[in-house]
Amino acid sequence: MLVLALLCGTSISSAGPLTAFRAPSAHEDAAVYIWPSDINPAGTVTGYVLSGTAMHGFVRAANSAITAFDAPGAGTGSPKADVQGTFALAINPAGTITGSFIDGSSVSHGFVRASNGAIITFDAPGATRT
């Protein structure tokens, strides 16, 4: 959890107690790796996990509730494919999350996830990979 303290730009001594948590896994028998990527002032954390053969976004509320999500069109990967799935990268004070996802053809796209769970995907105009 040292990563969270560093991402917040605070020192461990002033950040308060560190909290360990387990990210959601779609596959109980699969190795799961977690990458917390951002935390907002309310203590809500976002990031992504490798579960099975793909990445999945997650949001962990300050009350410890964890929700996994995938951007519409995110690839599910395969053991021999490039990494596919949803990468949640940043969260603002309102709980809006932004990031990228890689589809089944290994093409990158952007997404924004509202605090109510609604997800909008997008591509930059003229981009072949967002």
Which among 6, 35, 30, 26 is positioned nearest to 18, based on CA atoms? Answer: 6
Percent of the chain at pLDDT above 70?
71
> Which residue, chain included where needed, has tokens 């996990």?
49
Taking only the tens place, the pLDDT of each residue in 107-119 is 899 999 999 999 9
Q: How confident is the model at residue 8 (pLDDT cuts 50, 70, 90)?
A: very low
DSSP 47-105: EEEEETTEEEEEEE-TTS-EEEE--TTB----TTSPP-EEEEEEE-TT--EEEEEEBTT
Question: Can you give the pLDDT at residue 111?
Answer: 98
The predicted pLDDT at position 81 comes to: 62
- Condensed to tens digits (0 to 9), the pLDDT of residues 57-109 reads 999 999 989 999 999 999 988 666 678 999 999 999 999 999 999 998 888 99
The answer to whether residue 21 scores a pLDDT higher than 80 is no
pLDDT of residue 10: 40
Rg (C-alpha) for the chain, rounded Å, is 15
